[in-house]
Structure 1
């Protein structure tokens, strides 16, 4: 969580990055998180304050029963909290309850401003002590190196500290998907993470790091949330909303926009927090009791764009991990010209991966010789396919006909410019490629 809130409330040179090594387990690609088999994975879950409530192991089963596919687990190095020496047990609980496990060191919260905080370098030292429990768990575990690792004092130090921590993790043999939190107690209100995101991603020789923003009072308007997310999306920088809370006052976080935008963009989110906050207004469950959900708990689990409505379990737990196959045939495209020779667009439909009972598709929309401001793509499935999830477009279905419309951030395309949106769908075996039609709307 916003760490303080838990405590209070709780020359000229061009550097060419090294070639990325092959991904192991959970990994990033094209701004998204994928499983080892290439299936997109979107986090839908909560934070659990394990280090302060180590006996509340029933919480793993409880949040899973409410629909979560991910749990972010608070651990300690021993400098401020812990030490957490039960990492193997925590991972086993995540796996037993079929959730992806995001493990985070909380001692780093507010470093540089909070005198007792651990540095990111010290956090890496902790992860090294836990390496035997972590190696081999790359399909199931994301390592969040340190929670909110820099406060508001000299937030610029975050860039070097984070890049060095990533390099140290890789030098010590960790192949996991790494997650890094922004400075300013996670909220990045000085935009250090936003403006140095590429530097951080390039520091990872495995190209396997996801950035994490924590959204609280700084993100109390729709415009502030949308603008921040747009910057990452435009650059294909992988991002998750690693923490956010409930709008219990008008100047607090706009959780409704966070939920809606995360769903529309295919972004993962992890709400703060299950229970145990000093200020119980941030609790989702009263006294860790899943039968006594608070207003916040009811909203995030059972409301629109909430966990129950949008979470999909990681395929690693399905028992039928599909083998990814890539279709290289480019299907035909259709260009629709608006009356009077106005702006046009084309759409290219591609099957990216497929497996028994389903597939992942991608559509590239390209503007013609004139700029366009919005677009609509349609196609008709011939073999009973049905879209189950989509990102970077609003997708609706009417029988076998699918319609996709641009989001607010990707409708404007310069002449010859393009954008892509993706989706997953079920199939009945045959998966013929339809012709997609694009119109300027």
Structure 2
């Protein structure tokens, strides 16, 4: 064999290797759509796919969008393969399943495929106003047992701080919502959850938990936002049905007293698991408007509160006290609001009392 022929064969082989290598990193035409993602405000991986999916090898990304760049370099599957960003068998106890600092990766699920989403840095934020909608796309039309939307508390800086459960406040949620009640779109269904805040400025994160209905699968999405954009009118959401309790017994409730006083409080356990439960309280103004409210829950034994939302919730011995948030203290006559909390231990029926500022 001549030397020139050997060189041509060698070159041909090298070209084949290069072509095969390039083919291995070419992304599919669209994201894997068996499940879903938060498309607005875009989750970290959906936003990176949206901005760079057609040019993910462009070196300009390293300076124009460095957090997306590090995520693409870590594992391109993170951006288009959404199917694995979930945990099974959590039974509602998300804090126990996912450690602080790992909320965006679902507790480093799927062997660490999504770990880059936990990286602290200057992720590209979506501009939002103090009212906006969170849009969840469901490519498999699973529907939801529930969807919960959290926003980080004022003062949290996602550019320098890893996300912890204690940084979050629950700002919107819906319960059992079959896919038939979502909006039909190309490739699946989608649903909007309204968020209404007040006085927020600067950077924040939105954290969405989607409990899909087809199995005990909990999906987790981090979105970066910058308050100061245009507000979106709240959408009309389907009627809320509380999540089904994981406890074998019915959820205990306290009967609602007649709303003849300044305010009344109705307590229920919306879900429970071994070692903890979620309590929810409905506060209703009486025959006159109120400017603020405080609810006391007297339990038969001591309580430990892990997290509260829509109120400042604290426990002292056997008494849990909740004071309204800045946005839900003022209630018109007969109007209602709700707050909730997660507590350790076994659920029990407390005596609920409500005091209002008129």
Q: Could you tell me the TM-score, scaled by structure 1's length? A: 0.36
Higher helix share: 1
Higher strand share: 2
Normalised TM-score (structure 2):
0.43
